Structure 1
């Protein structure tokens, strides 16, 4: 039975990140992977007419091409003739190409993807829903009472649940030492968790400070500092390429944080 072969792309083909300018957003997970690997890439957040390029890819009139279906929303990665979207899908593609998955573990990439998806579920998607619990099309000001209730539940129930899960992962045998989530080395799952934690720290600084001081999640907060302190990530975070949080996924409304 014949098997299809993946398309060959020149190693010299540049990675092109296509994402909104003005906030880290979901594209930040892709940036962190590229930065951690020291990869060369372009980013529409920092080029002239970048917004226009983003919009051209998601325009309702854009039907894609013979190899690429039309795309719904950024982040989008262009690599040679390949165009793909969805944060976790892009990372699944980049992981082995950037050395951010275990080399001698055939199934490891799926474990890494599992961990990244879990972090995105509980510490990105749910964090976003705290300030937009009813509808994305409504302004925050149109759903403030509901946002307050959602945030209280998130801080009390959901946030400890996900922090506790990743604490358990770090204590597990598959972590191989407790410094990284899987396999004893930094993978893109660690980068995703770092970014999610950083965003939640911005959105709920009081709640996260309390949870850190309680000492129940030392492994998780230790991983956060470990990623932050790696040479390439530290350099990136101190550069102008690291955009500041604003009205994106993570928003700081003091009234939604702990009193």
Structure 2
């Protein structure tokens, strides 16, 4: 039994990618609530992972990096390990950190109408400019697929970088479904969506996604608001708009 304690309502980092890794590895685990992101251990929490300041600031990245060898999701060899982690950090930067920094503007004291207007302005800026930029940045920095055309980001095996990309794309699809459908139809991000589909089809992941254990996106930075669900002008022409 593994023990994982994460904040259920952390607005930035809910640890869901760690759940995916444990599910894929077939490891039983217990989830608890805490004010800090606690590491994956063989002892009941709280046990903090070592952090010497040189590692990633994200608790999810820290847990995945420090435990990926235990759960066999880090590829073959130290060189591949570092490449996988670099891709994981890029994923978090493009689809989590950037979104948090963009949405952290304080709306306290604003009326509901003013909040809706602000969210609409946020959504328009994100789907027209920020989201296309980060999708392009990520796609353009990916290594070529391993022969004979494996779907994974690095080599011929699934790694935690694939799981993290799936989770970030899934949450972004929840927040901006119209724009993400456009992005998919544009054909510009085939590598990203191939990883997404391949992870989603894995038997243990599929079972988890359809279970009550899967966390929803009703709070935090991926919370859906209708006024933010906009089509992007970036892909409207090539999608026939």
| TM beyond 0.5 | yes
Residue number among 159, 162, 167 corresponding to 1:190 in the alignment: 162
Alignment partners' CA distance in 2, 1:175 and 1:233: 22
User: How far 1:179 moved relative to its partner?
Assistant: 1.0
Quick check: 2:95–2:169 contact (8 Å CA) kept in 1? Answer: yes
Q: Provide Cα deviations, 1:55-107, integer angstroms capped at 9, x if missing partner.
A: xxx4xxxxxxxxxxxxxx32x1141465228111100012111110113x212
Aligned to 2:15: 27
Residue number among 82, 85, 102 corresponding to 2:75 in the alignment: 102
Alignment partners' CA distance in 2, 1:151 and 1:88: 27
Provide closer, same or farther for how the CA distance between residues 29 and 147 of structure 1 changes in structure 2, counting only shifts above 3 A.
same
Quick check: 2:7–2:14 contact (8 Å CA) kept in 1? Answer: no
- Is residue 158 from structure 1 mapped to residue 145 from structure 2 by the alignment? no
User: How far 1:166 moved relative to its partner?
Assistant: 3.5
Alignment partners' CA distance in 1, 2:121 and 2:219: 20
Unaligned runs of 5+ in 2: 50-57, 232-241
Alignment partners' CA distance in 2, 1:223 and 1:110: 19
Q: For the pair shown, which has the larger CA radius of gyration, 1 or 2?
A: 1
Provide closer, same or farther for how the CA distance between residues 148 and 111 of structure 1 changes in structure 2, counting only shifts above 3 A.
same
Aligned to 2:54: none
**SS of residue in 2 equivalent to 1:98:** coil
**Mean Cα deviation higher: 214-223 or 133-142:** 133-142
The runs of 4+ residues in structure 1 deviating greater than 4 Å are 22-25, 136-146
Provide closer, same or farther for how the CA distance between residues 87 and 22 of structure 1 changes in structure 2, counting only shifts above 3 A.
closer
Aligned to 2:204: 232
- Is residue 168 from structure 1 mapped to residue 127 from structure 2 by the alignment? no
Q: Provide Cα deviations, 1:140-193, integer angstroms capped at 9, x if missing partner.
A: 9575544433332221222222222333355x3365535111122210000000
Aligned to 2:48: 83
Alignment partners' CA distance in 1, 2:10 and 2:110: 18
Q: Provide Cα deviations, 1:95-149, integer angstroms capped at 9, x if missing partner.
A: 111110113x21222211111111111112223345x341387889575544433
Unaligned runs of 5+ in 1: 1-13, 45-50, 59-72
User: How far 1:219 moved relative to its partner?
Assistant: 1.9
- Is residue 246 from structure 1 mapped to residue 218 from structure 2 by the alignment? yes
Report how many aligned residue pairs link the two structures: 217
Quick check: 1:128–1:250 contact (8 Å CA) kept in 2? Answer: no
Quick check: 1:127–1:200 contact (8 Å CA) kept in 2? Answer: no
